[in-house]
Amino acid sequence: MPKANETVLEIDLGALTHNFNYLKSKLQSNTKFLAVVKAFAYGSDSIEIAKHLELLKVDYLAVAYTKEGVLLRDAGITTPILVLHPQPINFETIIERCLEPSIYNAKVLKEFIEVAEEQKQKDYPVHIKFNTGLNRLGFWESDVDHIVSKLKTTTSIIAKSIFSHLAASEDLNEVEFTNRQIESFKTTAKTFEDKLDYQPWLHLCNTSGVINYPKAHLDMVRCGIGLYGFGNSADEDKSLKPIASLKSVISQIHKIEKGETVGYNRAYTAKGSEKTATIPIGHADGIGRQYGNEKGYVFIDGKKAPIIGNVCMDMVMVNVTNIDCSEGDEVIIFDATNKASDLAESANTISYEIITAISQRVKRRFSN
Ligand SMILES: *Cc1c(COP(=O)(O)O)cnc(C)c1O
């Protein structure tokens, strides 16, 4: 890659291949792989990532919202796409664009059947979501009879899969709770299957589930964060490669004297003769205000430069008093070595939040 001369998010598709193969190596050969590409493939670029995953022969894709699935279909993606959190207002679009809804409650089930029947669909694939302890979306086990009776009164849809989501698969202090979720899901699935005359696929694991709970891989796994290079543990992080590097450039260097202040609300005061660099990336680009006031940092010439004062909408100022640097020099916000997960930790958040926050304003550049 050439040095950055503006703010750019570099995406390493070779690293994506590596992570995909690494996660696949944890699975039985007949376990299907669903790649979660919601939120612009965790802040990278959903179209390029989905195209690359399609080349890698991923079995399924998932997005959170209908609109995200439409974007992929518009780009020519033909892999099946599960929409994890659809709303009835989008059901016609879902069918029109061959997207497959997660059905998480009785209202959504009823309304999807109505639309599927209106559109004269036969065996339209849907995915029945059960709540096993996350208490976010999903039917309860006690809803099985209702779901099955609805499925039996229509030929318009079929339950392609039954799934649930783990609440704490990355947390080894919660093994007991997670095991109970796994058991509860298996019991519900069995009750469900016994009442149907066909066999839906079962899936439960996200990335950390794949790593920590091999017995729960079932027919398919749903990986997001691992594909993008984070494994929710220091150990797993070693085997994965972050695919995204966020880089920028020094726009201007200022020399300031003791008592002078930097940025809005004069939040930083120089303790002596100091040197600051202004970088063209701000909270509108995804570096939130929580990284200001010396919590967050960037790297210049391999050295850490703390963000001083408040993060502005389009800029941050960093302290480069002890760094030999010039206007036009490259700045690393995170990359494969200086990890986004560490920067996230500096502001008490997680890799998921910092990477998905990188806004669409930031230019994307791809390499293999
Ligand atoms: C986001 C999401 C995933 C992916 O989780 P990771 O921890 O990123 O692997 C899987 N399943 C559901 C239902 C999700 O919402």
10 Å CB burial of residue 125 (0-12, 13-18, 19+) is middle
- Clarify whether residues 192 and 105 are in a common domain: yes
- Clarify whether residues 271 and 363 are in a common domain: yes
Residue nearest to atom 12 of ligand 1 (CA): 165
- Clarify whether residues 136 and 51 are in a common domain: yes
Determine the length of the chain. 368
SS3 (DSSP) at 196: coil
Residue 178 domain-assigned? yes
Integer distance in angstroms from the first to the last C-alpha of the chain? 10
Whether 224 is in the pocket of ligand 1, judged by its Cβ within 6 Å, is yes
pLDDT of residue 78: 98
Q: Supply the range of the domain harboring residue 44.
A: 31-228
For residue 117, the surrounding DSSP H or E stretch is helix 106-118
Which of 26, 36, 44 has most ligand 1 atoms within 8 Å of CB, for mutation? 36
Tens-binned pLDDT, residue by residue, of the chain (368 aa): 789 999 999 999 999 999 999 999 999 999 999 999 999 999 999 999 999 999 999 999 999 999 999 999 999 999 999 999 999 999 999 999 999 999 999 999 999 999 999 999 999 999 999 999 999 999 999 999 999 999 999 999 999 999 999 999 999 999 999 999 999 999 999 999 999 989 999 999 999 999 999 999 999 999 999 999 999 898 999 999 999 999 999 999 999 999 999 999 999 999 999 999 999 999 999 999 999 999 999 999 999 999 999 999 999 999 999 999 999 999 999 999 999 999 999 999 999 999 999 999 999 999 99
Q: How far is the CA of 161 from the centre of ligand 1 (A)?
A: 16
Catalytic-role residue among 38, 129, 160, 247:
38
Residue 13 domain-assigned? no
Q: How far is the CA of 319 from the centre of ligand 1 (A)?
A: 37
Residue 38 a catalytic site member: yes
Rounded Cα distance, 275 and 253, in Å:
7
Residue 228 a catalytic site member: no
* CATH code for position 349: 2.40.37.10
Residue 239 domain-assigned? no
pLDDT of residue 110: 98
Catalytic-role residue among 152, 258, 264, 304:
264
pLDDT of residue 140: 97
- Clarify whether residues 49 and 85 are in a common domain: yes
Task: For residue 187, give the amino acid letter.
Answer: T
Strands 8-12, 363-367: parallel, antiparallel or unpaired by DSSP?
parallel
Of 228, 255, 281, the domain-final residue? 228
Whether 36 is in the pocket of ligand 1, judged by its Cβ within 6 Å, is yes
- Clarify whether residues 310 and 175 are in a common domain: no
Q: How far is the CA of 82 from the centre of ligand 1 (A)?
A: 12
- Clarify whether residues 173 and 148 are in a common domain: yes
- Clarify whether residues 206 and 333 are in a common domain: no
Here the tokens at position 244 are 């995204």
- For the chain, the maximum distance between any two Cα atoms, rounded to a whole number of angstroms, is 78
Q: How many helices (H) and strands (E) does the chain have?
A: 12, 19
Residue 24 domain-assigned? no
Residue 45 domain-assigned? yes
- Clarify whether residues 223 and 248 are in a common domain: no
pLDDT of residue 200: 98
Number of domains in the chain: 2
Task: For residue 8, give the amino acid letter.
Answer: V
Closest atom of ligand 1 to 227 CA is: 9
Of 228, 260, 275, the domain-final residue? 228
Closest atom of ligand 1 to 38 CA is: 1
Rounded Cα distance, 300 and 361, in Å:
23
* CATH code for position 211: 3.20.20.10
Residue 6 domain-assigned? no
- Clarify whether residues 145 and 214 are in a common domain: yes
Residue 91 domain-assigned? yes
pTM: 0.97
Q: Which whole-number Å values give the CA distances from 241 to 16, 22, 23, 95, 228, in the listed order? A: 8, 10, 12, 36, 7
- Clarify whether residues 43 and 177 are in a common domain: yes
Query: Which residue matches tokens 């959504």?
Result: 108
- Clarify whether residues 193 and 276 are in a common domain: no
Of 196, 228, 260, the domain-final residue? 228
Whether 207 is in the pocket of ligand 1, judged by its Cβ within 6 Å, is yes
Residue 16 domain-assigned? no
- Clarify whether residues 280 and 193 are in a common domain: no
Whether 223 is in the pocket of ligand 1, judged by its Cβ within 6 Å, is yes
Question: Of the candidates 244, 248, 260, which has an alpha carbon nearest to the alpha carbon of residue 316?
Answer: 248
pLDDT of residue 118: 98
